[in-house]
């Protein structure tokens, strides 16, 4: 295993992709980035990708080999960084650290995916262009590809210390709207129905739905009510962010939020939104995590660790359709979305070698081996 050659290849490809800025909100920038990612991928995989444009956003898919797709390598090429970020955050390699907008999240991960898939038969590489927005156009594409695969490996960055991500919380997002009745706050406040008071009651009710023991957080976030300081507010609203470790908890909170009823006579409560991403439960990743640990040992890498994280990724979608999923197989570093975004180069060759060996191990298994694990999931 020539680690220097692996590092050189992955670093070359990553720097080429980082040099093309790709903020999710800029359709033209995402399209330009897709051109670069397609060129890099074609160079390593020996084939051009399918270009899939959905709602103006460009996604790329390679289906490699002649057999059915068995392993899905999943990543995204959009970033949170606006155009012009390279001027203030140039792509550099100094002291064993790679920096640049989107290097950790997740253009190094894409370079690793191309290295892992090259020459493999039965692999699909899917690179989406709107993950940072919540995958509004690509969710169905991700789910459809996951249904065809026996395993999904997600190239998001590793957790702290290089840990794989074997569990991700599911996300639900709500907009709770309160309707009251306006009145003059000085002359006849009694004629009004105060939406601010109703909002306060409902915020407390929603916050009480959290369950720390179950890992469930229910967090009211932004709120607003009223128009002027001398008017009983007729309307109000607040947003709610829900994070859960299990589908059962997601369902419980969803039912409770939808069951909210007004506390003031004449007021109304409207609930919009709902579950956004299902959880990636530990059961979905358990078998793949054990395989990854065995593969790491077989190629002489240190023991792998795993971590549960609160953030979501497209791995939530692949797990949600029943496909065994392991996340956090990308680069080791820190500062994602922040000024200090960086990738550590020392672990990179070993991570790339692990990914390639894990793909090969999955492809060498009997066709129904991982599928049987899927069927055993609750």
Q: How far apart are CA 234 and CA 244, in angstroms?
A: 33
> Do 38 and 182 share a domain, yes or no?
no
> Do 158 and 176 share a domain, yes or no?
no
Q: Looking at 257, 277, 297, which one is the last position of a domain?
A: 277
> Do 22 and 54 share a domain, yes or no?
yes
> Do 235 and 175 share a domain, yes or no?
yes
Q: What is the dihedral of CA 354, 151, 290, 247, to 10 degrees?
A: 130
> Do 183 and 39 share a domain, yes or no?
no
CA 269 to chain centre: 31
Range of the domain at 188: 170-277
Q: Looking at 277, 293, 325, which one is the last position of a domain?
A: 277
Contact criterion met (CB below 8 Å) for 38 and 51: yes
CATH number for position 257: 3.30.70.360
pLDDT at 4: 84
Structure tokens of 277? Answer: 């991403």
Angle at which helix 3-18 crosses helix 108-117, to 10 degrees, equals 130
> Do 15 and 81 share a domain, yes or no?
yes
CA 228 to chain centre: 40
CATH number for position 148: 3.40.630.10
> Do 160 and 183 share a domain, yes or no?
no
> Do 256 and 294 share a domain, yes or no?
no
> Do 159 and 244 share a domain, yes or no?
no
Cis peptide preceding 106, ω within 30 of 0: yes
Paired sense of beta strands 217-225 and 235-244, if any: antiparallel
CA 2 to chain centre: 31
> Do 115 and 80 share a domain, yes or no?
yes
> Do 270 and 327 share a domain, yes or no?
no
Q: Looking at 229, 245, 277, which one is the last position of a domain?
A: 277
Tally the domains of the chain: 2
Reference 112, options 290, 359, 367; nearest CA is: 359
Contact criterion met (CB below 8 Å) for 118 and 42: no
State the 10-residue block means of pLDDT for the chain, 378 residues long: 86 98 98 98 98 97 93 98 97 97 98 97 98 96 97 98 97 98 97 98 98 97 97 98 96 98 98 96 96 98 96 96 98 96 97 98 79 46
> Do 283 and 305 share a domain, yes or no?
yes
pLDDT at 67: 82
């Amino acid at each position: 295993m020539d680690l220097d050659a692996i590092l050189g290849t992955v670093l070359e490809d990553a720097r080429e992709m980082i040099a093309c800025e790709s903020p999710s909100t800029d359709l033209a920038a995402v399209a330009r980035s897709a051109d670069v990612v397609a060129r890099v991928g074609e160079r390593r995989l020996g084939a051009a990708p399918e270009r899939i444009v959905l709602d103006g956003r460009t996604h790329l898919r390679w289906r490699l080999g002649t057999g059915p797709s068995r392993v899905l390598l999943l990543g995204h090429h959009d970033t949170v960084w606006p155009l012009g970020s390279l001027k203030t955050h140039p792509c550099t390699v100094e002291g064993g650290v790679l920096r640049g907008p989107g290097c950790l999240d997740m253009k190094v991960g894409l370079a690793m995916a191309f290295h892992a898939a090259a020459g493999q038969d039965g692999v699909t590489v899917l690179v989406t262009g709107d993950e940072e927005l919540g995958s509004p156009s690509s969710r169905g594409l991700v789910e459809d590809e996951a249904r065809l695969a026996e395993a999904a490996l997600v190239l998001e960055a590793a957790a702290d210390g290089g840990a794989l991500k074997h569990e991700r919380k599911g996300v639900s997002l709500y907009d709770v709207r309160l309707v009251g009745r306006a009145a003059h706050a000085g002359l006849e406040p009694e004629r009004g129905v105060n939406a601010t008071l109703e909002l306060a009651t409902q915020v407390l009710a929603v916050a009480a739905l959290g369950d720390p023991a179950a890992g469930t957080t229910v967090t009211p976030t932004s709120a607003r009510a009223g128009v002027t300081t001398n008017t009983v507010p007729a309307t109000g609203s607040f947003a709610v962010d829900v994070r859960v470790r299990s589908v059962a908890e997601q369902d419980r909170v969803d039912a409770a939020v939808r069951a909210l009823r007004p506390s003031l006579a004449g007021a109304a409560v409207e609930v919009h939104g709902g579950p956004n991403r299902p959880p990636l439960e530990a059961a979905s990743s358990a078998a793949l995590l054990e395989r990854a640990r065995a593969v790491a040992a077989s190629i002489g890498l240190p023991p792998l660790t795993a971590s549960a994280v609160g953030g979501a990724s497209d791995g939530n979608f692949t797990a949600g359709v029943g496909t065994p999923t392991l996340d956090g197989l990308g680069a080791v570093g820190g500062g994602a979305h922040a000024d200090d975004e960086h990738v550590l180069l020392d672990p990179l060759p070993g991570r790339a070698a692990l990914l390639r060996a894990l793909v090969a191990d999955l492809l060498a298994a009997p066709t129904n081996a991982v599928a049987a694990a899927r069927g055993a999931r609750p």
